[in-house]
Structure 1
Amino acid sequence: MTETALRTRPLPPEAHTGRPWRIHEIAPDFRLEDVWALPTPGGPDDLSRLVEQLAAGGDERDFPLPYRILLAIRWRLGDLFGLDDESTGVGDRVASLRDRLPDDLRGTTGPGFEKVPFEPVYLTEDEYVAEVANSTVHALLHLGWVEDASVRGGHRAQMAVLVKPNGWFGEAYMAFIKPFRHLVVYPALLRTIGRQWARQVSA
């Protein structure tokens, strides 16, 4: 697989489920929703560098206009219908995944996100997990750092999204937004991450 193909191509579920990630034992009740390769070629120890980049968020103008419009609509709807009220979040409606961590992962949260409401759960040499919850879903962002001989440095990241929908409304919501995620959100997000990563590596 070329680095160009990594920018737009989702991965099969086995790319996540077939690896011995710690998340499998910690969150077996979450459903795998998506797996995507990230255009972030690097060395074996670069995951923490990528996590810091994603957590910082970068300049919103780096993201394509359709992506920004969709996110603005989502946050507006959240305000109108109370989807993101504090009472529906982590620690209120749902317990944090941090409560499940084994002793060796406690205190390894890594950086939190500055511009989106994800909260860090744990960071290892090859995994990073953050979580978010609202009235529709409890979702996990999983970043895995994997070997890939086709890219510079021999390694790259892949992103998995795991979810636990909140009843029938959550299931309906996830089904409704799926086309937007696959056609607009993820391709735009991955291209932007790739550009930011390339600038950071060349700096």
Structure 2
Amino acid sequence: MKITTSPSLGKAKAETERLAFTPEEIEKIYEHAKTKGNDRLCVLIQLGAYTGCRIEELCRLRTESVVAIEGIESFKIEDSKTRAGIRSVPIHSHIKPLINRLVTNTKDGYLISTASNNKYGNRSDGLSKAFGRLKKELSFGKAYVFHSIRKTVITQLQRQDVPGILIAELVGHETGTVTFDVYSAGHSEGQKSAAIEKLAFKLT
């Protein structure tokens, strides 16, 4: 009898094999990108560290993605394959000047300019590969990818005593409970902003 493996199990295994960076390691990678004059990677790393967003979500942010919700400047993430992925993420005070600059200087409506989409329609492909080369230069192995920054954000929020339900909402994960995934309207933007502000990195 042929036994097939569910694609979701393979994805779950890949997730567990990825490791989180320490904040200091993210800062080291950022400084390396800065030294090499790679402004787009510098922007991408800052946005990843202060939002926990997926790389493709960041590369799809447009000027109209920057909105005011309950009086708080936030990113509206709408291009997602899951219901939980459609969400808002308050903009950390540290990157507000950067976001204002990106909105002002964009030439194509996107906050981060990239090469043309790959054959799957992904805008992040080129930058993902560039990040891979960058971290390899610093001797980070295969377990470290851009997604590792997302793991770092989740870890840091957890260590700052942010409730797991709130962390899941910020990063676009389902909680696995009917109570919160179906019936709850979610946390207020103020609650989410207070959580995001707990993230601290030396990225200047």
Do Structure 1 and Structure 2 share a fold, with TM-score over 0.5?
A: no
**Bigger fraction of residues in helix:** 2
Q: Give the TM-score, by structure 2 length.
A: 0.30
Q: Give the TM-score, by structure 1 length.
A: 0.30
